[in-house]
Amino acid sequence: MPVWNYRRSAVALSLFIAAAACAGTSTSEQVTRPADGRYIEMSREKTYTSLDQLTADSDAVARVKTTSKTAVVEVDNIPFTITDVRVTEVLRGSLPDSIRIRQTGTSDTRYQDSGSSETTRSPVLHSSTTYLLFLDRFNRPGEDVTNQYVIVGVAAGIFREEGDQALLQDNESPNLPATVSIPSLRSRIAG
């Protein structure tokens, strides 16, 4: 299996392919059940409890607008969605005008809490939506990953914008604020 380098990423991906009959999942795992009966597990290495932690672990913090251009690629039978976005404002770091966001799974991916039959939708970005994202540069040897970034903390670094507020899109990070004032965050990051 190739070596994965998520430089300073807050996410350690532990990916396993197994038969659907295998045991359940833990709280922060992502489960994809394709038609062929395989599934993929992904656990978080770090739980974020503050915006300061997210910011410190990010190469960039940016406001973006998603386009309708997405691609799903498989690497070692693991699906990844790559979404093209237009950068509307950089709050921290430096980014080109357009970047690509790589996320594990597809829009069909579901999360399932341990001991629960309830599932929630994957955090894959939606077309024509504005987000505030905490990003880390993606690097994978032997693959063209020009201008590709991953979201810090799997979904902890995804906030959907509504006006001058940004709403947390991650159910697995209860200690992060559910709503963030964009002007306040801008001032806080600028320090």
Q: What is the mean pLDDT of the chain?
A: 78
CA dihedral sign of residues 75, 138, 31, 108: negative
Task: Write phi, then psi, for 173 (nearest 5 degrees).
Answer: -125, 70
Task: Please state whether beta strands 98-104 and 148-151 pair in parallel, antiparallel, or not at all (unpaired).
Answer: parallel
Cβ(129)–Cβ(160) below 8 Å: yes
Determine the Cα–Cα distance for residues 139 and 179; give it in Å rounded to an integer: 31
Question: To which residue do tokens 């809490």 refer?
Answer: 113
Higher pLDDT among residues 43 and 7, named by residue: 43
- Is the domain defined by 16-190 classed in CATH 2.40.50? yes
Q: What pLDDT, on the 0 to 100 scale, is given for residue 131?
A: 98
> Model confidence at 110, in pLDDT bands (50, 70, 90)?
low
Residue 68, classified by CB atoms within 10 Å of its CB into exposed (0-12), middle (13-18) or buried (19+), is: exposed
pTM above 0.85, yes or no: no
∠73-75-21 over CA atoms, to 5°? 105
Q: If pLDDT is split at 50, 70 and 90, which confidence band does 105 have?
A: confident
Amino acid 78: pLDDT = 82
Phi, psi of 183, rounded to the nearest 5 degrees: -60, -40
Distance CA 43, CA 26 (A): 8
pLDDT level of residue 79 (50, 70, 90 thresholds): confident
